[in-house]
A and B are shown apart, each in its own frame.
Chain A
Amino acid sequence: MPEAAALDAIDKRLINALQGDFPLVAEPYREVAETLGLSEAELLQRLESLIQRRVLTRFGPMFQIERAGGAFVLAAMKVPEHEFERVAAQVNAFPEVAHNYRREHALNMWFVLATATPQAIAETIAAIEAATGLPVFPFPKEREYFVEMKLHA
C-alpha cells in the first residue's frame, strides 16, 4: 500500500485551492497565488513538484467525455494472481485505459475506459480480451447520482 507523501502546510493549501475552479483569465496562476499569499513563481514551482512527485495525477480540465460524444465505462477482470503483472501491463498499454486499480475481490482489476465514441468501447474491450486471453466485464453507468472529484488535503 503506498504511503502518504510528505506535504507542508503550503502544499496542502495549494492542493485544496487548486481543486476549486481554476480561473479562466490570462494569468490564472498569478490570481491563485495572490489568494494564497504566494508569488506566482513559487506557486508554479510547487505545482510542478506536486505533479512530478505524483501527489497530483494531473492538473487541467476534467472532461465529461459523454457530453462530447465519447464514452467512459468501468470494467473489471478476474486475473489469476500469478498472471497479475503481465495482465496489468497489457491492460495499461491501451491508451483508452484512463485509470486502473487493483482491488481485493475475485474481480481484482478495475479500470475505466475512455473513448472518443461509444462504439470504440466494445472494440477496446474485444482488443483487451484478445491481448490478455481473459474476459472483461463492463459495468456501464446507468445513472449518475453524484460525482465530486475533490478531496481535502
Chain B
Amino acid sequence: MPESKPDLDAIDRRLIVATQGGLPRVPRPYDAIGGELGIGGDEVIGRLRRMLDSGVIRRIGAVPNHYAIGYTANGMSVWDVDDARIDELGARVGALAFVTHCYRRPRRLPDWPYNLFAMVHSQNREEVAARVAEIAALLGDACQAHDILYSTAILKKTGLRIAG
C-alpha cells in the first residue's frame, strides 16, 4: 500500500527521539520538551499537531498494559484466507468491535499457512474463543484453517526506541 512520506526536518526527528519514551509528567510538558530542544512550547505543539495530521503520530495518550486492566486473555487469531477475498474480508474483520489490530501478512508455507492476523483481547479464553468463532462465521468458506496463539507473558513492552 503506497503511503506518502511527509517531510520531516531535523527538529521533527529530534522531537520524535525526545518523546518516544513518553511525555514528561509536569504541568507544562510541551514547554519542558521545547526546553530540551531549544524551541518554544508553542513550536512543539505545532509540530506535534502537524505529525498527527500527517499520520506520523497515530494518537497522543496512554498505552495500557492489557493484563493490568483486566484483559488477561490475549489471543492472536491467525487465518488462511482466500487471496482473492482477503482485502474485502480483512476490512470486515478489522471493523469488528473486539478486534484491536488486523493485518494481512505473508504466509510461510508449509509451516505457516496464515495470511490474516486479528488480535482479540478479552477477560478470559472462553470469551476470546467465542469472539474467534464470530470471525470464523464471518469468513465462512473463504477460510481454510485458523489458529489462536494466546500470549502467556509480556517479555518486553517499551515501544519505539530509535536512535537520536
Chain A residues engaging chain B, CB cutoff 8 angstroms: 1-5, 7, 12, 15, 18-22, 24-30, 40, 44, 47-48, 50-51, 53-70, 74, 88, 91-92, 95-107, 109-111, 114-116, 137, 139-149, 151, 153
Q: Please state if A153 and B70 are interface contacts (CB–CB under 8 Å).
A: yes
Q: A95-B163, A149-B100 are in contact. Are A60 and B20 (CB under 8 A)?
A: yes
| Chain B, residue nearest A54 (CB) | B65
**What residues of chain B lie closer than 8 Å to A103, measured between beta carbons?**
76, 149-152
Q: Known interface pairs A5-B68, A59-B22, A61-B51. Does A147 touch B101 (Cβ–Cβ under 8 Å)?
A: yes
Binding site for A on B (CB under 8 A): 1, 3, 5-6, 8, 12-13, 16, 19-23, 25-31, 41-42, 45, 48-49, 51-52, 54-72, 74, 76, 87, 90-91, 93-95, 99-106, 108, 111-112, 117, 121, 147, 149-163
Contact residues in B for A100 (Cβ distance below 8 Å): 154-157
A21 touches B22 (CB 8 A): no
| Contacts A56-B64, A99-B159, A104-B149; A4 near B100 (Cβ below 8 A) | no
A2-B72, A55-B69 known, 16 other contacts, Cβ within 8 Å: A24-B52, A58-B21, A60-B22, A64-B58, A67-B3, A68-B13, A91-B156, A99-B158, A102-B153, A139-B105, A139-B117, A141-B103, A145-B104, A147-B101, A151-B71, A153-B69
B69 touches A59 (CB 8 A): no
Contact B57 A61 (CB under 8 A): yes
Q: Is the CB of B66 within 8 A of A151?
A: yes
Indicate if the CB atoms of B72 and A143 lie closer than 8 Å: no
Q: Is the CB of B63 within 8 A of A149?
A: yes
B149 nearest CB across to chain A (Å): 4
Contact of A115 among B28, B64, B162 (CB under 8 A): B162
Q: How far is the CB of B19 from chain A (nearest CB, A)?
A: 5
Distance A56 CA – B69 CA, assembled complex (angstroms): 9
